[in-house]
Amino acid sequence: MNLYLAELLGTFALVFAGTGAIVINDISGGTIGHMGIAATFGLVVMAMIQTFGDVSGAQFNPAVSLAFAVSGKLTWARLPGYVAAQCVGALLASGLLRFLFPTHELLGSTLPSGTASQSFVLEVVLTAMLMLTILSVSTGAKEKGITAGIAIGAVVGLEAMFAGPICGASMNPVRSLAPALVSGHLEHLWLYLLAPVVGALMAVPLCRAVRGPGG
């Protein structure tokens, strides 16, 4: 279906551009810089929401899709297809980066620079903040015009700017899963699979408390 292809392509673009910026920054001696990497993640999210938002809702994130299902904005029947498409898109992106940069060790894998517990809490809070924004600007599977892309992309970029140096600011299980699998660096992967799911699910009752049952 078109919506699953949209999720695959959007997730591919997110992982290819975002983790690609990390790889290219490493091999080019830091020419992109941390701020540039954070901006790349925010801008590609914004662009892909504008590209595919009216097709699939532009979720590109299994934690977001699960939270949408829990909140009633995505049918449970479609959830497995969304998650599968997102995983395939992310793996294709990391596979292409491995082909292009075969000597790079991590391929943009997310690893904590501090303790695992510190990064776990950060990832939970970051994802909850992101999911609150997504729930507030979305209507069902559709996004509310250009403002949705700007708001969500801005939150992704902002959170990557201030928290990225500590936890990697993944906020997305497949963004971490794909480079970890392709590069073979699975250490701390559990953190980046679990914490975003916890954070996204926390955002659902928080949004309802603020905006009411229909929020």
What's at 86, amino acid-wise?
Q
What's at 121, amino acid-wise?
V
What span, in angstroms and rounded, lies between the C-alpha atoms of 192 and 204? Answer: 19
Contacts of 43 (CB under 8 A, 6+ apart): 153, 157
User: What range does the domain containing 182 cover?
Assistant: 2-211
pLDDT of residue 194: 98
Mean pLDDT of 2-15: 96
Burial class from Cβ neighbours inside 10 Å (0-12, 13-18, 19+) for residue 27 reads: exposed
- Domains held by the chain: number: 1
pTM: 0.94
What span, in angstroms and rounded, lies between the C-alpha atoms of 26 and 20? Answer: 10
pLDDT of residue 162: 94
pLDDT of residue 145: 61
- The chain-wide mean pLDDT, for the chain, equals 93
Instruction: Select from 89, 98, 69, 105 the least CA-distant residue to 173.
Output: 89
Instruction: Select from 172, 177, 150 the least CA-distant residue to 45.
Output: 150
- pLDDT tens track for 135-183: 988 765 555 567 888 999 999 999 999 999 999 999 999 999 999 999 9
pLDDT of residue 144: 52
What span, in angstroms and rounded, lies between the C-alpha atoms of 68 and 176? Answer: 20
CB 13 within 8 A of CB 48: yes
- pLDDT tens track for 101-122: 999 999 999 999 989 999 999 9
**E strands within the chain?**
138-139, 142-143
pLDDT of residue 137: 86
Give the CATH number of the domain where residue 62 resides.
Answer: 1.20.1080.10
**Region label for 21, one of left (φ > 0), alpha (ψ between -120 and 50) or beta (otherwise):** alpha
pLDDT of residue 215: 58
- pLDDT tens track for 51-80: 998 898 899 999 999 999 999 999 999 999
